[in-house]
């Protein structure tokens, strides 16, 4: 006799269509029963209660306590939200991420969270309920810091000392939110959370400089890192490999994307959160810090219909911001602009932005080829790193496109030697380049505590030597008398600038444009940075160092800042 349970894999061929349908239904019931028995057995082994969702009512408000993506990823469904407790059905109650999220919900809602074992069938039933939720309900997928919270933090946190005191009195959830909110308020570009032998160190990168802000009890590290990883959609149980993730902070006027990097270290993991504020992309071309002849030269080169403009400098020197500001200046309804970036940091309205994906073979070179088939007027390439990308970009510049890009060199004079070192043909390079921009970012003096500052005679002599070749520029006539009367400023430190004396940053620039003498140097094929600098200064280029000192004379920054970031080449240049 045929046993439907024992012989479920031996389906009789003589079954009719109606009988076969009943047979399939019976088989499905058997499979479901087996899944439920497996769940009950696991429940007994682990001492965790079991529940079957068949016919069990789950309210929408309860269900949305865990968003759909997280529920499906971790196989967990919130099925009860009462006055005293929250109940969650899970397939794997030993999963670290499940337990971390349960702890997070318990802390956030101030209610006990209880886990129940469910079968895969119950999980499927629970997951189907998300489809019946009102579509107007949105899952932010990020940290929501309301404007009210933000204003409260601004009132409570005036200095790093206030943050250090406050952070020791809040929950883990509030602690992470407080660290992020304080970083936004202090205009930080990065948040560093580092485990050390005895404490957790939190540091902010403010205006390019790392500042220690607080120490946290090291015993809290597992909870802090779990919270950050949950927000970033990273795996909590992976601690010995680097991980990258991201999340979004929603404010009423803008959203802030946060890129998260976790790196294994001797005492745990190091976490760096890069804050990408959309308002940064709205920087105007005029507010970059360009001045005088440099501004005029760059404006002229930007209005040309073709050619290449390259920004240079180390990581963190503001190259991408300069490119975005130029794109904002050039962007209009009559112009087609396409970018290829790694990654797309800010969204620009009216600009077609593309992000490289090396895993799929979409790199700068292949992406640039595709972009040129899209009939663009202006192309922005995030970075030129190799000969293939350089060749395509140069040919685009020669065939009617304006190309904007970056390259890693110390200053503008190193751009052409770098291209030649890549293997670019000199006869193509000379006619394709419009301008080369060398730049750095320096901290601005806090206007609230700025005061005149007297420099010593050694420094004054150094400044005189650097400015002497300029002779006359923008209202300054550097006569011997005027050079002796130069005035400088600094910030003495106040609450508005966190006692740092600086607030905000501005660029210092050098703009090198093409001229017949530079073209001859390129065509010779043997050109050094020294040769380029000498010819450019001969034709009136203001160096980054000179531009910075002029900004210091105007009270915008300090000499210490200028010499911290800009190289003094005055000793090696002999102006004819």
Q: What is the pLDDT of residue 572?
A: 43
Q: Is residue 8 part of a domain?
A: no
Residue partners of 244: CB distance under 8 A and separation at least 6: 234, 259, 260, 261, 262
Tokens (6 digits) for 387: 């000969």
Q: Report DSSP state, residue 259.
A: E
Residue 210 lies in a domain: yes
Based on the domain organization, do 499 and 373 belong to the same domain? Answer: yes
pLDDT of residue 185: 84
Which of 45-54, 137-146, 520-529 is predicted with the least confidence, judged by mean pLDDT? 137-146
Cβ atoms of 269 and 256 within 8 Å: the answer is no
pLDDT in tens, 421-451: 999 999 999 999 999 999 999 999 999 999 9
Q: Which of 55, 94, 47 is nearest to 75 (CA)?
A: 94
- Both 256 and 317 in one domain: the answer is no
With respect to residue 495, please indicate whether it lies within any of the assigned structural domains.
Answer: yes
Residue scoring higher pLDDT (132 or 411): 411
Q: How many domains does the chain have?
A: 3
CATH number where 40 lies: 3.30.300.160
* Residues 215, 316 share a domain: no
Residues with Cβ within 8 Å of residue 1, at least 6 apart in sequence: none
- Comparing 223-232, 248-257, 358-367, the range with the smallest average pLDDT is 248-257
Which one of 100, 132, 164 terminates a domain?
A: 132
Average pLDDT, the chain: 84
pLDDT in tens, 62-108: 888 888 888 999 999 999 988 788 999 999 999 988 988 888 888 87
The answer to whether position 9 is within a domain reads: no
7 within domain boundaries:
no
Does 367 share its domain with 493?
A: yes
The reply to whether 271 and 293 lie within a common domain is no
Confidence check: pLDDT of 575 > 80:
no
For residues 425 and 541, membership in a common domain is answered with yes
CATH code for the domain in which residue 562 is found:
3.40.50.300
Q: Is residue 307 located within the same domain as residue 203?
A: no
- Would the pLDDT of 389 be above 90? yes
pLDDT tens digit sequence for 142-181: 555 666 666 777 777 878 888 888 888 888 878 888 898 8
- Our measurement of the distance from residue 374's CA atom to the centroid of its chain's CA atoms, rounded to an integer in Å, reads 28
Q: Are residues 287 and 271 in the same domain?
A: no
Residue 29 lies inside a defined structural domain of this protein: yes
Range scoring the smallest mean pLDDT among 82-96, 187-201, 380-394, 483-497: 483-497
> What's the CATH number where 243 sits?
3.30.450.90
Three-state secondary structure readout of 512-530: EECCHHHHHHHHHCCCCHH
Q: Which of 28-37, 211-220, 314-323 has the lowest mean pLDDT?
A: 28-37
Is 114 a member of any domain? yes
Determine, yes or no, domain membership for 6: no
Residue at which a domain ends, from 224, 242, 277: 277
Residues 30 and 55 in one domain: yes
pLDDT above 90 covers what percent of the chain?
A: 39
Is the pLDDT at 396 greater than 90, yes or no?
yes
Q: How confident is the model at residue 368 (pLDDT cuts 50, 70, 90)?
A: very high
415 shares a domain with 476: yes
**pLDDT tens digit sequence for 15-24:** 556 666 665 6
pLDDT of residue 482: 67
Residues 253 and 104 placed together within one structural domain of the fold? no
The answer on 181 and 121 residing in a single domain is no
Please check whether residue 183 is in contact with residue 275, taking contact to mean a CB–CB distance below 8 angstroms: yes
Where among 277, 304, 321 does a domain terminate?
277
Residue 319 structural domain: 283-572
How would you write 61-94 as a 3-class SS string? HHHCCCCHHHHHHHCEEEEEECCCEEEEEECCCC
pLDDT at 473 over 90: no
pLDDT digits (tens, 9 = 90+) for 221-244: 988 988 888 888 888 778 889 999
pLDDT value for 499: 87
Question: Residue 573: which pLDDT band, with cuts at 50, 70 and 90?
Answer: very low
Q: 86 - beta bridge partners?
A: 81, 113
Upstream peptide bond of 181 is cis (omega within 30 degrees of 0) = no
Single pTM value for the model: 0.71
- Greater pLDDT, 3 or 518: 518
Contact yes or no for 342/356 (Cβ under 8 A): yes
Confidence (pLDDT) at 136: 37
Least confident of 296-300, 370-374, 462-466, 487-491: 462-466
Task: Give the pLDDT mean for 386-394.
Answer: 94
pLDDT, residue 384, reads 93
Whose structure tokens read 């927000």?
Answer: 231
Higher pLDDT, 424 or 568: 424
**Those residues with Cβ within 8 angstroms of residue 316's Cβ, 6 or more apart along the chain or in another chain:** 208, 441
pLDDT at 14 over 80: no
**Structure confidence at residue 268 as a pLDDT band (50, 70, 90):** confident
Residues 200 and 276: their CA atoms lie apart, in Å, by 24
């Amino acid at each position: 006799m045929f046993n439907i349970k024992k012989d479920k894999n031996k389906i009789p061929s003589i079954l009719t269509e109606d009988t076969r349908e009943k047979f399939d239904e019976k088989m499905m019931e058997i499979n479901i029963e087996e899944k439920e028995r497996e769940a009950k057995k696991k429940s007994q082994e682990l001492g965790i209660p079991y529940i079957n969702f068949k016919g069990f009512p789950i309210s929408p408000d309860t269900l949305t306590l865990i968003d759909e993506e997280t529920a499906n990823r971790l196989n967990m469904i919130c099925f009860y939200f009462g006055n005293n407790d929250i109940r969650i059905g899970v397939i794997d109650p030993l999963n670290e991420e499940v337990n971390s999220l349960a702890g997070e919900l318990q802390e956030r809602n101030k209610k006990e969270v209880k886990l129940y074992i469910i079968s895969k069938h119950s999980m499927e039933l629970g997951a189907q309920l998300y489809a019946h939720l009102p579509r107007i309900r949105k899952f932010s997928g990020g940290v929501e810091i309301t404007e009210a919270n933000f204003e409260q933090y601004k009132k409570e946190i005036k200095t790093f000392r206030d943050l250090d005191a406050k952070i020791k009195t809040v929950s883990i959830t509030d602690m992470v939110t407080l660290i992020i909110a304080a970083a936004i308020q202090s205009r930080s570009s990065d948040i560093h959370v580092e485990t050390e032998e005895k404490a957790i160190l939190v540091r902010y990168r403010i205006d390019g400089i790392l500042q220690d802000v607080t120490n946290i009890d090291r015993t809290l590290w597992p909870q802090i890192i779990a919270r950050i990883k949950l927000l970033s959609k990273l795996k909590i149980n992976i601690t010995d490999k680097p991980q990258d993730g991201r999340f979004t902070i929603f404010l009423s006027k803008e959203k802030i994307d946060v890129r998260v990097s976790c790196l294994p270290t001797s005492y745990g993991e190091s976490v760096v959160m890069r804050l990408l504020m959309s308002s940064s992309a709205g920087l105007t071309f005029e507010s970059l810090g360009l001045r005088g002849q440099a501004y005029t030269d760059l404006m002229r080169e930007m209005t040309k219909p073709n050619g290449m403009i390259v920004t240079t400098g180390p990581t963190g020197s503001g190259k991408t911001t300069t490119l975005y500001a130029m794109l904002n200046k050039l962007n209009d309804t009559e112009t087609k602009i396409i970018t290829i970036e790694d990654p797309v940091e800010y969204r620009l309205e009216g600009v077609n932005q593309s992000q490289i994906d090396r895993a799929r073979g979409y790199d700068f070179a292949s992406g640039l080829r595709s972009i040129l088939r899209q009939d663009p007027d202006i192309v922005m390439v995030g970075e030129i790193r190799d000969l293939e990308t350089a060749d395509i970009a140069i040919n685009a510049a020669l065939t009617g496109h304006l190309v904007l890009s970056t390259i890693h060199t110390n200053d503008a004079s190193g751009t052409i030697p770098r291209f030649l070192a890549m293997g670019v043909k000199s006869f193509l390079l000379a006619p394709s380049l419009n301008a080369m921009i060398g730049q750095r970012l320096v901290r601005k003096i806090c206007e609230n505590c700025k005061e005149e500052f007297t420099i010593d005679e050694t420094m004054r002599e150094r400044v005189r030597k650097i400015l002497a070749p300029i002779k006359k520029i923008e209202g300054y006539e550097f006569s011997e008398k005027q050079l002796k009367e130069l005035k400088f400023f600094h910030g003495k430190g106040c609450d508005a600038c966190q006692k740092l004396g600086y607030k905000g940053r501005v660029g210092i620039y050098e703009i090198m444009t093409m001229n017949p003498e530079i073209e001859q140097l390129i065509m010779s094929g043997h050109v050094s940075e020294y040769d380029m600098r000498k010819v450019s200064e001969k034709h009136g280029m203001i160096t980054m160092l000179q531009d910075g000192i002029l900004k210091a004379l105007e009270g915008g920054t300090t000499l210490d800042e200028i010499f911290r970031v800009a190289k003094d080449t005055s000793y090696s240049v002999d102006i004819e």
